[in-house]
Amino acid sequence: MHVLGNRRRHWLVSKDHVDMTAAGPKPKRITLEAEPQRITVDLARTAIIVVDMQNDFCSAGGWLDHIGVDYTPAREPIEPLNRLLPALRSEDVPVIWLNWGNRPDLLNISPSLLHVYNMTGDDVGLGGILPATGSAVLEKDSWGAAVVDELVIEPSDIRVDKYRMSGFWDTPLDSILRNLGIDTLLFAGVNLDQCVMTTLQDAVCLGYNGVLLRDCSATTSPDFCREAALYNIKQCFGFVSSGGAILSALRAG
């Protein structure tokens, strides 16, 4: 028999037989403190999506820094993620880095989206060159689109480029998750009220279970934006927990 697929979801195939019933990973249930209720999740069917922890959003000399936004709040998830991600990897939970990574010609970016980041037409917007670094803003393989150096990306991690606020639009993210047999998504990264929120919303609309990790997420927006996002996630889309709650549950066994 030959295996077609991946370790989590596959068929066993021979010349005269196809076995579609191959067992997935054994369930690994943990119970987390969360809002509005405690939740029990199966780590064997869970992935974490880390959104936009990139130099243009989180580093000195990046895009936000260039346009005068205080980027330091966007760095708050770094240490919590560095504590959480190794523990999740040890439980075989896929780590997905979901990042802006535009085409150099910007042919997949509409004028409406370009306008969001360049309202006067003469600012440094998507694809523009930052004077301090010479990096093209959020262009795939540029310095600005790279994940910050302080976060460790392992070879087993998965990278997905996005081109909108939501990571599900015009990307392979949904196909990857379904082929991994994932039904629960942990969300982290920046900005909580923008790309993290819209990706979580789309995930729930597609039928995934959405869990926002409060301590592993941040925003450079005003506090009322963060509070509104947390309220809407708890009220309409899923649950709010924390990386600390996951670590506590893992230590408790």
**How deeply is 137 buried, as exposed, middle or buried, from its count of CB atoms within 10 A (0-12, 13-18, 19+)?**
buried
Catalytic site residue from 58, 195, 215, 216: 195
Contacts for 116 with CB less than 8 Å, ≥ 6 apart = none
Q: 78-90 and 243-252 are packed helices; what angle lies between their axes, rounded to 10 degrees?
A: 40
Catalytic site residue from 56, 65, 161, 162: 162
Residue 215, token pair as written in the block = 């301590």
Residue 155 main-chain phi, psi, to 5 deg: -55, -30
Catalytic, 52? Answer: yes
Give me the helices (H) in the chain, please: 55-58, 63-66, 78-90, 111-116, 173-179, 197-205, 223-232, 243-252
Q: What angle do CA 154, 174, 145 make, to 5 degrees?
A: 50
How does DSSP assign 144-166, residue by residue? TTSBPTTS---TTSEEEEESSSS
Catalytic, 195? Answer: yes
Active-site residue set: 52, 162, 195
